[in-house]
Amino acid sequence: MTETLLAVDVGGTKCELAMFPLGGSDYTPMVRNRYACGDYGRLEDIIATFLQETGSAPTYASIGVAGVVSGGVGTVTNLPWIISEQGLAREFNLKGVHLINDMTAVCASLGLLSGDDLLEIQSGEPQPGQLIGVVAPGTGLGEGVLVKNYSFFFPRGSEGGHTDFGPVGEEQAELLRWMLTRKKRVSYESLIAGPGIPNLYDFYHQHLGIPERPEVIAQMAQAADRTPVIFENAFGDNGSPLCRKVIDLFLNILGAEAGNLALKLYARGGLYIGGGIVPRIADKVDFTGFLTHFHAKGKMEQLMKTIPVRLILRGDAALLGAAGYGLELFSR
């Protein structure tokens, strides 16, 4: 009987599962499904439902978790779930289970992406076998690295999004001063992850006094999450100039931080943008501000222009990466 791998991407709101044959190079799932995490009390309940519905009996499991993973145990950031490698192996009679951070899973997907999975923002001069960096604004701000050559494969997510925000220019310096009146410290995640983007809006609207259209103010007042309202009103002939200004500032800060990561890693293999936010606006922006801030590293500006920059368009990159990681690990 062919051994198989169960790949899982555990997010804060949804969970995706898929089955893959072990030992092959085909990353087309045998079966796959998605479940709402809120409908279940444990990950184990979701896995049991999936296996029953699909008639699957995996040999191994590779699971990407949106949270901290340490010592074979994962804690999901936005759910009261604690996931154990040993517990899953016992419950589902698996030969092996490996938990990884969800950003590690995204990093593991990079070698499997091609064609329509990616949008080239800067062609650069890619160097095979060199470090690759990832910065991914979504619900949080994920950052990570992939080290990969002919004999070595090491993807690793980090908590780099929680590093201190470093302003570029007087406007961003004023943004930092204003944010410090509201928070004890200001991270990149508090500004360019989804929940932080309204901070940029409030900076312009409340602090600098830039006016907003009454209909947009009404939408903001009714919204539990203002970020989608900002994005929906930023574009089009009747778009809000203030919302568009927020998007431009978001891209400028993201470009600067992506450049910081690329420079620290010496990421001659490339810098990838992941997460769910940027793909939604990729066909509406030209990335000029992003690249201006990505390049603006003083004496290193010419180096920054040689680093390839690509946007991940594939929505299931974390699931694909969990599969790739597991197939690499358990096929040895």
Q: Which of 267, 186, 198 is nearest to 226 (CA)?
A: 198
Q: How far is CA 55 from CA 32, 49, 52, 71, 183, in A?
A: 12, 10, 5, 31, 50
- Cα–Cα separations (whole angstroms), residue 62 to 157, 178, 245: 15, 43, 41
Provide CATH code, domain 160-312: 3.40.367.20
What is the residue extent of each domain of the chain?
A: 4-108+314-330, 160-312
Other CB atoms within a 10 A radius of the CB of residue 38 amount to: 10
How many residues are given for the chain? 332
CATH number belonging to the domain at 4-108+314-330, selected among 3.30.420.40, 3.40.50.280, 3.40.50.300, 3.20.190.10: 3.30.420.40
Q: Quote the pLDDT of residue 172.
A: 98
Task: Give every residue of the chain whose pLDDT is below 50, as ranges.
Answer: none
Pair 187, 142: CB distance under 8 Å: no
Give the pLDDT score at 104. Answer: 95
Cα gap 259→262, rounded to integer Å = 5
Q: What is the 3-state secondary structure (H, E, C) of the chain?
A: CCCEEEEEEECCCEEEEEEEECCCCCCCCCEEEEEEHHHCCCHHHHHHHHHHHHCCCCCEEEEEECEEEECCEEEECCCCCEEEHHHHHHHHCCCEEEEEEHHHHHHHHHHHCCHHHEEEEECCCCCCCCCEEEEEECCCEEEEEEEECCCCEEEEEECHHHCECCCCHHHHHHHHHHHCCCCCCCECHHHHCHHHHHHHHHHHHHHCCCCCCHHHHHHHHHCCCHHHHHHHCCCCCCCCHHHHHHHHHHHHHHHHHHHHHHHHHCCCCEEEECCCCHHHHCCCCCCHHHHHHHHCCHHHHHHHCCCCEEEECCCCHHHHHHHHHHHHHHCC
Per-residue model confidence (pLDDT) at position 73: 97
Sole residue written with tokens 């574009």: 235
The amino acid present at 62, given as its one-letter code, is: S
- Residue 319: the pLDDT is 96
pTM of the model: 0.91
